[in-house]
Structure 1
Amino acid sequence: MALAFPPNPPPPPPHLTNTNNGDSLSLCHHSRLLRLLNECTDMSQLKQIHAHTLRTTSTTHPHTLFLHSRILHFSSSADLRYAFRVFHQIQNPNSFAWNTLIRGCARSSELENQALLLYCKMLSQGDPMPDEFTFPFVLRACAYLFALSKGEQLHAHVVKFGFDSDVYIGNGLIHLYASCGCLDHARKVFEKMTERSIVSWNVMIDSLVGAGEFETSLKVFGQMQKLFEPDGYTMQSIINACAGLGAMYLGMWAHAYVLRKCDNAVASNLLVNSSLVDMYCKCGSLDMALQVFERMPKRDVITWNYMILGSAMHGKAVAALKCFDRMINTESCKPNSITFVGVLSACNHRGMVSKGRKFFDMMVKEYKIEPRLEHYGCLIDLLARAGFIDEALNLVSSMPMKPDAVIWRCLLDACSKQPHASIELSEEVAMQILESGGEGISSGVYVLLSRVYASASRWNDVGSIRKLMTEEGIAKEPGCSLIDIDGITHEFFAGDTSHPCSREIYHVLDALNEYSNSCMHLPDYSQAPMVN
């Protein structure tokens, strides 16, 4: 989600009040330096102009302050360390200089904290004071640092200085609160805004999608359409909402809207098309995802990851691995840790143990990617499902991080499916799951452990498990299915009769069941002699 920030105001123009020959010559010299700065394309040229400025101009001259402001502006987006040096050479920097350096730090992926320190230093000096161009960048730094308490103090300063009606600052506050998980605060800021731009709506919609409020985001989108035409950022968020809901028809509408109503730049936008690939995969239409993927003029690692993960999710392991091979060999796109989650998941779906080991080693040795818990989980599940429980346990013990309940549950699930699995091992794994904590895991653990006892014909222990579940009030969580019909998502639980059409649904299912049973008793004519 790209935030629109207010443009930097131009540096204050030098006061051209003197008219003698010396000042005229000085003005001509400063004009030549300014022209060179405007034509500058890299840091090497900038350093030469800066050195010439220091040698040939007076630091107290108003024209020199203007030149230093332009040098600072260029270096803040090209070399921040050099920008700091330029800033410290300026005597009594004005608000433009402070804001330029704060903006550069806020946009950096490593120096966001410096933006907050600069703001505090600017505030402590008292001259110049922060203005409406200062706060959007400091709020951005707080959002990326998840610094909620500092952001709330900034919000108080915004109100104190009388900038709470500024649209750019409002957008920054929405982004800050949403990034820190305070969606209610973000909504309050949005609702109190007296003026909203399309970016305000985009930030609010994207925040709702990020928080999983998919249906609410679509309602806000409907309100936005009455005032603004959606742009690429809007459609990307809406497509992601459709993916989260699994709303295939609504996602197709969003796709059609992009093609018909948006300009070619949006229709060919990398992020929009990547979101479409992800949406179609999550909605179950791998063919449509592949069509969008193949028609994309450009793809990045995120696009490839969506296609690999989508293929793996649908059990198309061979297609996922072919996509990975094409990614690294044909397109020469470097994979990242998420890529290997998809590749290992694909191997897991098809039980490709040797390939799973190979790709795990490739990730570590060839691409120098440090395995995360998800990678270990995929490989452990793959090994355990294939019956290599001892190897899976050895991998668990060698992990640099503590295994979570999901990994232990994979091992217990594998033990429950092995006819001669160790009862003691299964009990130990079950204990590890219960000790790891987490909501909603108890019922699954007891069910899997009862299967282990049942496979060993220890029926008394099976009965004890079921009795314990009854006494503790632990019920097996029902399965759940979702289906999208005419843009409406219907949710069904096992044994559920709350749906208004449940009577008709069960009537149809019973009829289908009877038909299926009758087909099972039809005579087999496959071996009958052919009649000429």
Structure 2
Amino acid sequence: MINAEQRCISLLKDCKTLNNLKKIQAIATKTNLLSEPFISGKLILLSATSISDALQYACNLFLEIPSPDIFTYNTLIRGISESNLPQQSLLTYIEMRRKTILQPDSFSFAFILKAAANYKSLNGGIQLHCQSLVHGFDTHLFVRTTIVSMYAECGCINSARKAFEELSQPNVVAWNAIVTACFRCGDVKGGEVLFGKMPFKNLTSWNVMLAGYMKAGEVEPAKRIFAEMSAKDEVSWSTMIVGFSHNGRLDEAFECFRELNLSGMRPNGVSLTGVLSACAQAGAFEFGKVIHGYIEKAGFGTIVSVGNTLLDTYSRCGSVQMAHLVFDWMIKIKNIVSWTSMMASFAMHGLGKEAVQLFHDMESSGVVPDGITFVSILYACSHAGMLKEGIGFFHKMQVTYAIEPSIEHYGCMVDLYGRAGLLRKAFEFVLEMPIEPNDIIWRTLLGACSIHGDVTLAEQVKERLSELDPTNSSDHVLLSNIYAIAGKWREVVSVRRSMIDQNIKKCPGWSMIEVDKVMYSFVVGAGLNGVTKEAQEKLVEIMSRIRIEGGYIPEVGSVLHDIEEEEKENAVSLHSEKLAVAFGISRLCPGSVIRIVKNLRVCRDCHVVMKLISKVYNWKIVLRDRNRFHSFHLGQCSCQDFW
């Protein structure tokens, strides 16, 4: 007959959930097994390191154990070190040293040093390094490798190198740690040299190089390393897909994902979030739906990070309906990120009332908003013109939730006042901020000056920006456009001449459109190819038709005055978003939604053209520019001409 201890051990082997763990603890408590080191240690191990959202339960359980041994202490330290509050593990370590006669072992130092690395405490790390020396564990390979990583995380590459060089016989784990340290500290060349010196390499060694190169933006060397690898695992493929996406190499991210599937390996959660991120950046709605289907079929829908990324992808591809569908689908796994992402989705689409209602629903559900949540709700209020509500949320954040405003919150408030036309109030708000305003704050105010045509304030703001970021091309272009709309052509010429003298080049505008799951790019001033020629020919037809049927008159106010009217019209007629929409009408089936992503703010003329096309051609157009979404339908835009 199985006794209570054997029963507990058997149940612990298959325990996967906190609910089951609580039942096993109840059995252990009832049968007086909680005082048994093996049983109590196993309970702590599972709750602290293996079962999600069970760390607090592990801490509470730890308090019920009468005489925890060194294994139990180490397990709790390890669990806390990998949590969102790694510094708390130091308190557990201190308690062990003060309240018991237990002596730390090599695992104690490895785990507590990991905690110091995770919260980047150099002073704490140095003290722990010294303590490991006192206890004779500093030469222990496991501990010394963690010391290398700790110094790297704290940005001390020289100390990391010294710790590594003192190892008499470093193994491959130690070599991988020092190569990682170089990349962590931005020493790409040092990482390359050490990688070349490694006497032996494993698959992790190659993956370290891939991750290091991609994080440093060195895409071509990463591609070379990837090609040289004789064996690749899930980490290798995921690193490449995420790296391509992170570095804006979206087509390569899509291609790498296709190659992963052809290789016979199964995508994991990381590779899926990587390719979804690429879909979000490119506005690849159809490809995103394909990935969504794979996620549901392969059973990845229970991974909260995948669900959140899918929600964000649909949102940034212009389908707030699909984003909300995913949000509802995540009912059992949604977290604060899910709520905030859905709120941001409403905000980007100008749905301020919906965002506010969602905020209240979140509060009612018991989820406590954080600083990022308030950025999203303030952004929503700003883009929906909800001045009173925005001011209320800014106040609530500080009074109700004791959240100290960050530069992002102040930026939202400047945008809120600026879009509402309260430019002087916005200017005074910036001057009264308790933290120093950065270039983004001033640029937000400059954008508001552009919307409302306040030349005088724009000049004052531009002076501040010239001190903080004198070579930013968008600031010069924006001021030039403000002057042009006001008819101050001499000032326009002066700004443009200043740009030439300082060799400041305007960022080229580009737009992307997805047709049959393939992304097409249109860049202002790019050479003519078959796709661009097709788009231009279709655009000529479109512009002619909206003139006749829609009464289109080109908005050329911001184009230089010293060229003929026909040249002005040509200057605005070939903007990348116009070419993209023309290509969409040429290739897509009637009734489809044209989805375009643009890297800059849409100009007034293009905005007018999109409204007329949606009316004359009866197409629905969803355009994501640098600031927000514009949904054009039957001659109207979702932004209500407020952007």
User: TM-score, length-normalised on structure 1?
Assistant: 0.73
Amino acid at match of 2:435: M
Amino acid at match of 1:232: G
In the alignment, which residue of structure 2 is the partner of 1:391? 425
Amino acid at match of 2:328: E
Secondary structure at the counterpart of residue 308 of structure 1: helix
Secondary structure at the counterpart of residue 67 of structure 2: helix
In the alignment, which residue of structure 1 is the partner of 2:63? 44
Are 2:440 and 1:406 equivalent residues in the alignment? yes
Q: Deviations over 1:459-507 (max 9, x none)?
A: 5545555565566666654532211223332222345453432222111
Give the deviation of 1:293 after TM superposition: 0.9
Secondary structure at the counterpart of residue 490 of structure 1: strand
Distance 1:354 1:104, change over 3 A: closer
Amino acid at match of 1:432: R
Q: Which moved more, 1:229-238 or 1:205-214?
A: 205-214
- Provide the rounded CA distance (Å) in 1 between the counterparts of 2:321 and 2:114: 44
Q: Deviations over 1:175-232 (max 9, x none)?
A: 6776677778877887787765434543554455444444444454455442632222
Distance 1:214 1:290, change over 3 A: same
In the alignment, which residue of structure 1 is the partner of 2:546? 516
Distance 1:110 1:496, change over 3 A: closer
Amino acid at match of 2:271: T
Are 2:292 and 1:243 equivalent residues in the alignment? no
- Provide the rounded CA distance (Å) in 1 between the counterparts of 2:503 and 2:107: 65
Which of 480, 494, 506 aligns to 1:447? It is 480
In the alignment, which residue of structure 2 is the partner of 1:318? 353
Whether contact under 8 Å (2:282, 2:512) holds in the other structure is: no
Segments of 5+ residues of structure 2 without an aligned counterpart are 1-34, 45-60, 81-88, 176-200, 552-643
Q: Deviations over 1:282-306 (max 9, x none)?
A: 1112111111111112211111111
Distance 1:124 1:208, change over 3 A: farther
Give the deviation of 1:258 after TM superposition: 1.2
In the alignment, which residue of structure 1 is the partner of 2:580? none
Distance 1:458 1:276, change over 3 A: closer
Are 2:171 and 1:162 equivalent residues in the alignment? yes
- Provide the rounded CA distance (Å) in 1 between the counterparts of 2:400 and 2:154: 32
Whether contact under 8 Å (2:148, 2:161) holds in the other structure is: no
Which of 440, 465, 487 aligns to 2:517? It is 487
Q: Which moved more, 1:293-302 or 1:511-520?
A: 511-520
- Provide the rounded CA distance (Å) in 1 between the counterparts of 2:135 and 2:294: 52
Whether contact under 8 Å (1:413, 1:448) holds in the other structure is: no
Amino acid at match of 2:272: M
Whether contact under 8 Å (1:347, 1:356) holds in the other structure is: yes
Whether contact under 8 Å (2:450, 2:478) holds in the other structure is: no
Are 2:140 and 1:130 equivalent residues in the alignment? yes
Whether contact under 8 Å (2:283, 2:514) holds in the other structure is: yes
In the alignment, which residue of structure 2 is the partner of 1:83? 93
Amino acid at match of 1:271: S
Amino acid at match of 1:519: E
Are 2:383 and 1:374 equivalent residues in the alignment? no
- Provide the rounded CA distance (Å) in 2 between the counterparts of 1:272 and 1:447: 43
Whether contact under 8 Å (1:209, 1:240) holds in the other structure is: yes
In the alignment, which residue of structure 1 is the partner of 2:74? 72
In the alignment, which residue of structure 1 is the partner of 2:57? none
Distance 1:401 1:211, change over 3 A: farther
- Provide the rounded CA distance (Å) in 2 between the counterparts of 1:473 and 1:343: 39
Are 2:295 and 1:229 equivalent residues in the alignment? no
Are 2:325 and 1:278 equivalent residues in the alignment? no
- Provide the rounded CA distance (Å) in 2 between the counterparts of 1:126 and 1:362: 53
Amino acid at match of 1:284: G
Q: Deviations over 1:250-302 (max 9, x none)?
A: 22222111122x23xx2222111110000111111211111111111221111
Give the deviation of 1:239 after TM superposition: 1.6
- Provide the rounded CA distance (Å) in 2 between the counterparts of 1:389 and 1:130: 63
Whether contact under 8 Å (2:352, 2:383) holds in the other structure is: yes
- Provide the rounded CA distance (Å) in 1 between the counterparts of 2:538 and 2:528: 17
- Provide the rounded CA distance (Å) in 2 between the counterparts of 1:382 and 1:388: 9
Secondary structure at the counterpart of residue 49 of structure 1: coil
Q: Which moved more, 1:195-204 or 1:240-249?
A: 195-204
Pairing of 1:120-519 with structure 2 (within 5 A): 122=132, 129-131=139-141, 133-134=142-143, 137=146, 141=150, 144-145=153-154, 148=157, 150=159, 161-163=170-172, 164=175, 165-167=201-203, 197-203=233-239, 205-225=241-261, 226=263, 228-260=265-297, 262-263=298-299, 266-296=300-330, 297-329=332-364, 331-418=365-452, 421=454, 423=456, 425-437=457-469, 438-451=471-484, 455=486, 458=488, 460-462=490-492, 464-465=494-495, 477-494=507-524, 496-519=526-549
Whether contact under 8 Å (2:415, 2:444) holds in the other structure is: yes
Give the deviation of 1:145 after TM superposition: 4.0
Q: Deviations over 1:428-474 (max 9, x none)?
A: 222222222143235324414514xx53x655545555565566666
Segments of 5+ residues of structure 1 without an aligned counterpart are 1-31, 51-66, 522-532
- Provide the rounded CA distance (Å) in 1 between the counterparts of 2:131 and 2:214: 27
Whether contact under 8 Å (1:148, 1:177) holds in the other structure is: no
Distance 1:124 1:243, change over 3 A: farther
- Provide the rounded CA distance (Å) in 1 between the counterparts of 2:512 and 2:229: 37
Secondary structure at the counterpart of residue 507 of structure 1: helix
- Provide the rounded CA distance (Å) in 2 between the counterparts of 1:74 and 1:460: 70
- Provide the rounded CA distance (Å) in 1 between the counterparts of 2:214 and 2:319: 31
Higher radius of gyration, 1 or 2: 1
Secondary structure at the counterpart of residue 441 of structure 1: helix
Distance 1:279 1:390, change over 3 A: same
